[in-house]
């Protein structure tokens, strides 16, 4: 089965955990609590905007409460709990993301192996495409830094 078909059979919250798990590979030398602290410090830094209205501050607090609640409503604890489309809370990197815990049938591990094989193929046989992908990714992060 190709990776895209495997992906179709994985819950969207687990897909977020896969994304987080991949990003967390950059923090392998740190434990979960250290990564949580880094994420919290980054979030706090992003919120430090001078001149916020009372309404903006209250919305940030409400968003934090919703995010804390939503973290409890994710697989493997609760399946298919989704917010109403008009209230979507932005996803924040989760230091404890472990997508493999969500499915006992090995589908996440199989998908991760496919992703690794694609990465190996790109880095060894598609050098130009790999460099383009890296450059596009860096541009995304540069744009994010400029916005703040």
Number of independent structural domains in the chain: 1
Residue 63 lies in a domain: yes
**4-13 contacts, C-beta under 8 A, 24 or more apart:** 6/107, 6/110, 6/111, 6/114, 7/111, 9/107, 10/103, 10/107, 10/108, 10/111, 11/75, 11/79, 11/80, 11/102, 12/82, 13/74, 13/75
The parent domain of residue 99 ranges over 3-104
Please give the model's pTM, rounded to 2 decimal places: 0.78
Q: Does the pLDDT of residue 145 top 80, yes or no? A: no
Structural domain includes residue 23: yes
- For residue 21, the model assigns a pLDDT of 94
Say if 45 falls within a structural domain. yes
Domain contains 32: yes
pLDDT of 111: 95
Find, among 4, 22, 43, 31, the residue nearest to 97 by Cα. 22
Residue at 85 is within a domain = yes
Query: Residue 20 has what pLDDT?
Result: 93
Any domain includes 138: no
pLDDT in tens, 44-95: 888 887 778 888 888 888 999 999 998 889 999 899 898 888 888 888 999 9
In a domain, 140, yes or no: no
């Amino acid at each position: 089965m190709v990776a895209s078909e495997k992906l179709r059979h994985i819950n969207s919250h687990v897909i977020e955990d896969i994304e987080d798990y991949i990003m967390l590979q950059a923090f392998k030398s740190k434990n979960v609590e250290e990564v949580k602290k880094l994420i919290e410090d980054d979030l706090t830094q992003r919120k430090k905007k001078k001149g916020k209205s009372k309404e903006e501050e209250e919305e940030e607090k409400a968003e934090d409460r919703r995010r804390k609640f939503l973290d409890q409503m994710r697989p493997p604890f609760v399946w298919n709990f989704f917010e109403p489309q008009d209230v979507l809370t932005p996803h924040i990197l989760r230091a404890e993301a472990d997508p493999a815990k969500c499915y006992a049938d090995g589908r996440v591990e199989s998908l991760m192996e496919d992703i690794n094989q694609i990465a190996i193929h790109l880095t060894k046989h598609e050098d130009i495409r790999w460099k383009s992908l890296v450059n596009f990714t860096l541009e995304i992060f540069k744009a994010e830094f400029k916005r703040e």
